Amino acid sequence: MSEFLESSDNQINLIPKKLSQKPQELLIVDDDPAIRSLLTEFLSRLGHRCRSAVDGLEAMSLLKQSPSTIVITDFQMPRMDGMELILKIKKLWPETDVIAITGYVRDFNYTDVIKAGASDFIQKPFHLDELEAKLNRITIERGYRTLLQRLSTRDVLTDLYNRRFLDQKLEEEAQRATRQNYFLYLIILDLDNFKELNDTLGHQAGDKILQRLAEILSNSIRSNVDIPFRYGGDEFAVMIPQADTEQVNQIAERIQSNYMNEDIGKTSLSIGISRFRRTNKSLREDINNFIREADNSMYAAKKTGGNKIIFNEEIKTVGS
């Protein structure tokens, strides 16, 4: 093992403090049991959760059971080498980062490894602190990617998903609902008298009401099934898959009732509901009609005085 790891002051009994970044799910792939053991102990003491595999085939099996965030792999291994493993990982799990380790630079160079999809490259022999530094950099970059993705899909004020993400999820779910033959519903709701309250109490008070409504939506729907969104301004939406008419009405009534129990000034909710229907038009046109029907039903509820639910032209009020 000494031929692969240089001696260093950074020995196993002098492990530095844990990284401040979020612990990662690591998979260490190497046919040398001593190296697997050393890296597993070192990285575990840094706070990461580690698994190990003897070659690319075993690594693929483990990844299929449960993906890892970062894979650290040797190149020269039996059955499936590091290059083939990297190519398969980037195809099947593109969000997984890979650090490649090799002592055979004549067979693989840095450019080849990065082009294959690896995030970084270490040549044997190496110091453990070099591996830590590279792992630290990748972890920070993963954090930035997660943050940017969150900012692109989340509403800053309420932390619900935004309108852009609604369009994306509706297209995905509409295709799935059509393929698997289940119902898909959309609720669009708007705050009644919100402008007057905003003008009277100020925008900070209005923001707090929008945040409270977001919490009510999240607490009134089926966890891990229905998805709430901030549609824009004081309008919100909820995508409801795999439900029937009675269930979607119950969810809408629960949202409305839970909001009214808050007794937030003179505000109430106008709620419109629609069901997705696939026609001979394009999927995009059917989705646009799906949104338009829910939107029209919501505005019809507002025109009749608000505090109502309209679905298939049936008007319901709280307690009816």
Do 5 and 35 meet the contact criterion of CB atoms below 8 Å apart? yes
Catalytic site residue 74? no
| Residues pairing with 72 in the sheet | 28, 99
Q: Single out the catalytic residue among 234, 263, 286, 295.
A: 234
Can you read off the two tokens belonging to residue 310?
């309209």
Backbone phi, psi, residue 30, to 5°: -165, 140
Do 87 and 75 meet the contact criterion of CB atoms below 8 Å apart? no
Give catalytic residues, as residue numbers.
234
